[in-house]
Homo-oligomer: A and B are copies of this chain.
Amino acid sequence: MSEPDDQLRRLLERAAVIADLTQARSVLSWDENTYMPAGAAEARGQQMATLETVAHRMLTDPELIALVGDLEAAGFPDGSVEAATVRQARRAVDQATKVPVELVEALGKHVARARSVWAQARQQQSFAPFAPELERMVDLKRQEAAALGYQDHPFDALHDQFEPGSTAARVRSVFEPLREELVALVREIQDSGRTLDDAVLRQTFDEDAQRRFALDLATAFGYDTEHGRLDPTVHPFAMSMSKYDVRITTRYQRHYLNTALFGTLHETGHALYEQGIDDAYYRTPLEATASLGIHESQSRLWENVVGRSRGFWEGAYPWLQRAFPGAFDKVRLDTFYAAINRVEPSFIRVEADEVTYNLHVMVRFELEQALLGGELEVRDLPEAWNARYAEFLGVTPPNDAVGVLQDVHWSIGLFGYFPTYTLGNVMSLQLYEAAVAAEPSIPRDIREGRFSRLLGWLRENVHRHGSRYLPEELLRNATGSDLDAGPYLRYLKDKYQALYGLA
């Protein structure tokens, strides 16, 4: 065995152990969020912290770091699996070593505190008590960004952790033209004077019937329950405990169908990605996804591009009618289709429709940059938040709880994260159009309840690659083009102009 090959073997041995520990931690986290008895919370936190500490110690082992350095010097060919493996190992090592231990600890402690103060502040509908905690958080995150390193903006260093290779400038170049068009589209919809009635979604739906129907759709899409399962939770998520065990969760509302139905389709999209990673990457640094943006492109594609399309419901509507006897017998398909696509500017991101959703994200993206860049003081944040909402969405939150305090992200130190939601939307259409270009029968398949050709294309062009490619590289290989909001915008316009009877 040549020296680099032997070094790579040793790297992979260590990476496999770290992967096991990370996956074990995921099992504990899944359990924590589904079935764990409440009184076990503290002990569970301790167990998870220990797994993290042990993995962190392995990632910061000088022998491992030396191995990664040697392997970089060995110069595996660009684009090779070996080079990608070394690149991902370097990313992991850098994330574990660049930020000083004291700062990591300070952040950990501050997250625990800030999260709890945030929850209280939100309860009280008042930003003021949270302000000093957020100030300290912004300060710590700026320090973290400095430790990680960046060229233009501290945002870039933090954003890169979720979207490798992306920057604030890159995001802006996509968001700014998109925003203008979306604001205009929202205005057009509002000016039309038309509203879509969603009363049919607000009947009474048996929880077990919701579960069965959502899971039926998930498995129809291709979700493999031999390697996954669906459970109830409070804040839904998909979680991989190895590519052979990718679980989804959802939340049931007895009097509102959307939450569990589209929530499940969304998490299914995430899970299909993780289940589709190449077997060869199991327990290697490539048994991961390319980025949160690519991840979100998969969840949005199945939730929205497929799951909220008229074509899909042409096939699936009779299934829905059978799943909820009586509820939809006298409801026309078009009434249902309109109901699930009702557009309405609102305060809350997670309840937003397809059109307005991205404007919520853009508010956060702008404010976060300004906070990290020092152009906006934390104390001025609520005012800036409300001003942006008025400008982008035409609504003003009546209090901070449904305004600046609605998301948990900043309180737990997630900066640079929000744009990945909209990047996902943008890429979902680029990928879907490329899939249809390659396999023109996909729209008909979807109308007829067959999803294997679409899934097959995504498997081949996205899923199986795991984290072998950087996200924009993956996108280019799959679609032949760079990040481009054009297809997404056309999709929204076509769909919603038709729904709202616009020009």
Within 8 A of B (CB), among A234-281: 241-242, 244-245, 247
Within 8 A of B (CB), among A28-78: 28, 31, 35-40, 42-44, 46-51, 53-54
Seen from chain A, the residues whose Cβ lies within 8 Å of a Cβ on chain B are: 17, 20-21, 23-25, 27-28, 31, 35-40, 42-44, 46-51, 53-54, 224-229, 231, 241-242, 244-245, 247, 282-283
Cβ 8 A contact of A37, one of B38, B54, B227: B227
Residues in B neighbouring A225, C-beta threshold 8 A: 37
Closest chain B CB from A415 CB (angstroms): 30
Cβ 8 A contact of A39, one of B39, B47, B226: B226
Cβ 8 A contact of A242, one of B20, B23, B25, B40: B40
**Measured between alpha carbons, how far is A339 from B101 in the docked complex, in Å?**
65
Interface contact B245-A17, CB-CB below 8 Å = no
- Chain B residue at smallest Cβ distance from A275: B39
Residues in B neighbouring A224, C-beta threshold 8 A: 39
Cβ 8 A contact of A47, one of B20, B42, B49: B20
- Chain B residue at smallest Cβ distance from A26: B47
Cβ 8 A contact of A50, one of B21, B42, B282: B21
Tell me if A's interface is mostly helix, strand, loop or mixed: helix
**Measured between alpha carbons, how far is A231 from B31 in the docked complex, in Å?**
13
Cβ 8 A contact of A27, one of B28, B229, B242: B28
- Chain B residue at smallest Cβ distance from A20: B50
**Measured between alpha carbons, how far is A311 from B31 in the docked complex, in Å?**
39
9 residue pairs of the A-B complex, CB under 8 angstroms, read A24-B25, A24-B48, A24-B50, A27-B28, A31-B31, A39-B245, A43-B282, A44-B245, A47-B241
Cβ 8 A contact of A40, one of B21, B50, B231, B245: B245
**Measured between alpha carbons, how far is A231 from B53 in the docked complex, in Å?**
31
Give this chain's copy count.
2
Interface contact B227-A47, CB-CB below 8 Å = no
Residues in B neighbouring A21, C-beta threshold 8 A: 50-51, 54
Interface contact A43-B245, CB-CB below 8 Å = yes
Q: Which of A20, A24, A226 has the most CB of B within 10 A?
A: A24
**Measured between alpha carbons, how far is A36 from B24 in the docked complex, in Å?**
13
Cβ 8 A contact of A228, one of B25, B37, B46, B247: B37
Residues in B neighbouring A283, C-beta threshold 8 A: 46
Residues in B neighbouring A46, C-beta threshold 8 A: 20, 283
Interface contact B23-A43, CB-CB below 8 Å = yes
**Measured between alpha carbons, how far is A58 from B218 in the docked complex, in Å?**
43
Residues in B neighbouring A44, C-beta threshold 8 A: 245
Interface contact A242-B47, CB-CB below 8 Å = yes
Interface contact A27-B31, CB-CB below 8 Å = yes
Residues in B neighbouring A47, C-beta threshold 8 A: 20, 23-24, 27, 241-242
**Measured between alpha carbons, how far is A36 from B54 in the docked complex, in Å?**
25
Cβ 8 A contact of A43, one of B17, B39, B229, B244: B244
Closest chain B CB from A368 CB (angstroms): 35
**Measured between alpha carbons, how far is A36 from B225 in the docked complex, in Å?**
10
Q: Which of A23, A51, A245 has the most CB of B within 10 A?
A: A245
**Measured between alpha carbons, how far is A245 from B39 in the docked complex, in Å?**
7
- Chain B residue at smallest Cβ distance from A25: B24
Residues in B neighbouring A245, C-beta threshold 8 A: 36-37, 39-40, 43-44
Interface contact A244-B54, CB-CB below 8 Å = no
**Measured between alpha carbons, how far is A53 from B46 in the docked complex, in Å?**
20
Residues in B neighbouring A27, C-beta threshold 8 A: 27-28, 31, 47
Known: A21-B54, A24-B47. 16 other contacts (CB 8 A): A17-B53, A20-B50, A24-B25, A24-B48, A24-B51, A27-B28, A35-B35, A35-B229, A37-B225, A37-B227, A37-B228, A37-B245, A40-B241, A40-B242, A43-B282, A54-B54
Residues in B neighbouring A23, C-beta threshold 8 A: 43, 47
